[in-house]
Amino acid sequence: MKHLCFAVVIISLSLMAAANPLLCPELPSGAQIRPENRYFEVLPRIVPANRESVIEIVPLFDHARPSENCAYELTYAPMEYPKQQDGWEPGKKMAIVPENGRFRITTFFESEQEHTFIIESTCDDKKKTVGNFRVYSVEEDLYKLRPYKGDFHMHSHRSDGIESPAYVAGACRRAGLHFMALSDHRWHDGSMEAHRAYADAPIDLRIYPGEEVHTPDNPIHILSFGANEGITELYRDDETQYRAEVAALMESLPPTPPGVNRFHYAACVWAVKQIRDRNGMAMLCHPYWITRNRHNVEEPLLNLFFEREVFDALELISGFGWESLHAMDVNALQVARYLEERAKGRRIAVCGISDTHGHERSDAFGRYFTVCFAPSPDLPDLIAAIKDLRSVAVESPAGTLPRAYGPFRLVKFTQYLLREVLPQHDELCFEEGRLMIQYAAGDTTAAQRLKQLQGQTARLYDRYWTPVAK
Ligand SMILES: [Zn+2]
Ligand SMILES: [Zn+2]
C-alpha cells in the first residue's frame, strides 16, 4: 500500500512539472502576457458597443511584420451575439490585405461582448496563425469608466505584519496595483506613514487610509477604507463614550431575532456610522474565517447583517493562500453565501483583498484584489464604485487562472481585462514598484527614474481606449 502511494505521488509530481510551464505566472500578480499581446499592439482594445469602429493590429517586431509574399485571411467571431449590421458571417474566412505594414479592420461592434479576430498567413503554401486578437465592446455607461485594481486589507509591522508601510506600498505597485491601503489592526497611521515616505517621490500608486477596526468586546473585524481619522482613537484611552453610545443603540435599534448578540450588533452599527461620518467605507471582513474552530461571525448575526444591509461592502474574497485553502476553503463559502443572498434580491457590494501580513512570503499578495470601475482612481470615485456595485473581487491562487466574482456583466468584462489588458499594465508597474522600494531603502536617485515612468500606465489605458481615425 505504501508503494502504491509513493507511485501516485511520483506521477502527480511529474504531471505538475509538465504542466508548470503553462501555469507558472511570469508576473508577481500571477498574470501572463499572451504572445500576441507582446508582438502586436491592438488599438483600441475597448470600443463602444453598437457602433462602427476601426481596429489596427500593429506588428512591433520584424518577426511579426506581414510579408508581400504571403496571403492573409481573417476569421471573425463575436463571442455572444450574432452580427446584424454589416452581414459579416461569424466564423467565415475572408481575405485581408495589410496596409502600411499593419492590419486594419473596420466593422460594427454588436452589443456588449468580446470579439475574436484570427489572422492566418499562407506563405509558399504553408499556413500559419499570425495571431488571435481580442477586442471588447462595452455600452456607453461602462465605456466611460476605467478598471482600477486595489488591495485595501493588508498589514504592516505597525500591527502584526512584517514590513514597513513604505515597503508594502512599493510591493503593491510592483504587483500591479493602482491603489492600496494599509489596514493595520487598531492603527490608522500605516497608510499615512507610507504616504509621507513618498512625499518627495513622483509615484502613480494611490495610497489611501485604512484600518482594521476591532471595537471593545466585539469579535467582528470591520475594515475602514478611506476614513480621514482613526476609529480606534475614539476608545483607545477611554471607553466610556463608546460603551454609552453602544448601550443607547441597543435600546433604540429594532428588535433582533433569537441568537443575535445584541451588543455585537450594536457595536458594529456604531463602528459603521463612525467610519461613514469620516468619509470612509465600512467593509465586513472575512465572515467565514475560522478562528478557535468557529466561524468569525455567528450565523444569526451574519443573517442580520445581510437582511439589514449593515455594511457598505462584503469582503467576498479573502486572501487565503494554499495552506489555509487546504484546511478549509473559506472563500467558497463566502461566494456561495453571496450568490444566495443576491438571489434573494439583496444588494451586496463586493471586494477582494489579500489580508497579507508579510508581502515577500505570502502566496496571496498581488493575487487577491478588487477591480473598481470608476471614472478616476480618486478615493471618492473608488468608494462610490464599490457602493454602486461597480466592483468585482478577484482571486488567483498560485498556479491557477484568475477568477472574478461579482455582477455578471462586470465579471465577464473583467475576465477579458485580466487576460488582454491588465497583464501589460502589471508589467509596467513592476519597474515602478521596484524603484519605489529602492527609494524607500534610501536611494533618492530612484526618484528621477520614477519621474521618467510617471504617467505610463495612464497612457497605456489611453491607447487601449482611444478610437483610431477612420
Ligand atoms: Zn481580520
Ligand atoms: Zn486583517
Q: What is the mean pLDDT of residues 221-241?
A: 98
Q: Which tens digit of pLDDT belongs to each residue from 369-385?
A: 999 999 999 999 999 99
Nearest to 289 by CA among 337, 330, 322: 330
Residues 316 and 351: beta-carbon distance below 8 Å:
yes
Q: What is the mean pLDDT of residues 410-414?
A: 98
Q: Which tens digit of pLDDT belongs to each residue from 117-140?
A: 999 999 999 999 999 999 999 999
Residues with CB under 5 A from ligand 2 (ion): 212, 355
User: How far apart are the CA of 32 and the centre of ligand 2, in A?
Assistant: 28
Task: Report the alpha-carbon distance of residue 266 to residue 304 in Å, rounded.
Answer: 12
Ligand nearest to the CA of 153: 2
Q: Which tens digit of pLDDT belongs to each residue from 17-63?
A: 333 444 445 677 778 899 999 999 999 999 999 999 999 999 999 99
Task: Report the alpha-carbon distance of residue 60 to residue 58 in Å, rounded.
Answer: 6
Beta bridge partners of 284: 222, 314
pLDDT greater at residue 449 or residue 3: 449
User: How far apart are the CA of 352 and the centre of ligand 1, in A?
Assistant: 13
79, amino acid identity: M
Residue 309: count other Cβ atoms within 10 Å of its Cβ: 11
Residues whose CB is less than 8 angstroms from the CB of residue 21 and which lie 6 or more positions away in sequence, other chains included: none
Q: What is the mean pLDDT of residues 155-165?
A: 95
Ligand nearest to the CA of 297: 1
Residue 289: count other Cβ atoms within 10 Å of its Cβ: 21
Q: Look-up: residue for cell 461569424?
A: 90
First to last CA, the chain: 70
Preceding omega of 255 cis (within 30 degrees of 0): no
Helices (H) and strands (E) in the chain, counts: 15, 21
The band of 448, judged by pLDDT with boundaries at 50, 70 and 90, is very high
Torsion of CA 191, 188, 190, 458, to 10 degrees: -10
Q: What is the mean pLDDT of residues 173-190?
A: 97
What pLDDT, on the 0 to 100 scale, is given for residue 11?
39
Q: Look-up: residue for cell 479576430?
A: 117
Ligand nearest to the CA of 159: 2
Residues whose CB is less than 8 angstroms from the CB of residue 156 and which lie 6 or more positions away in sequence, other chains included: 162, 163, 164, 165, 167, 168, 182, 184, 190, 193, 194
Average pLDDT over the chain reads 92
Residue 155: count other Cβ atoms within 10 Å of its Cβ: 25
398 pLDDT above the threshold of 80:
no
Residue 277 three-state SS? helix
Angle 145-371-52 from CA coordinates, rounded to 5°: 35
Domain residue ranges of the chain, discontinuous segments joined by +:
35-140, 146-456
Residues 137 and 48: beta-carbon distance below 8 Å:
yes
Tell me the CATH number of domain 35-140, given options 3.20.20.70, 2.60.40.10, 3.40.309.10, 3.60.15.10.
2.60.40.10
User: How far apart are the CA of 38 and the centre of ligand 2, in A?
Assistant: 37
User: How far apart are the CA of 169 and the centre of ligand 1, in A?
Assistant: 20
What pLDDT, on the 0 to 100 scale, is given for residue 26?
63
User: How far apart are the CA of 23 and the centre of ligand 2, in A?
Assistant: 29
What pLDDT, on the 0 to 100 scale, is given for residue 265?
98
322 pLDDT above the threshold of 90:
no
The three three-digit cell numbers of residue 345, written as one number: 434580491
Nearest to 48 by CA among 120, 117, 138: 138
User: How far apart are the CA of 339 and the centre of ligand 1, in A?
Assistant: 22
What pLDDT, on the 0 to 100 scale, is given for residue 17?
38
349-367 exposure pattern, b = at least 16 Cβ within 10 A, e = fewer: bbbbbbbbbebeebbbbbb
Ligand nearest to the CA of 211: 2
- Say if strands 368-374 and 146-151 run parallel, antiparallel, or are unpaired: antiparallel
Say which CATH architecture domain 146-456 belongs to: Alpha-Beta Barrel (3.20)
Ligand nearest to the CA of 154: 2
User: How far apart are the CA of 220 and the centre of ligand 1, in A?
Assistant: 8
Residues with CB under 5 A from ligand 1 (ion): 221, 285
DSSP state of 232: G
Nearest to 215 by CA among 174, 168, 181, 264: 264
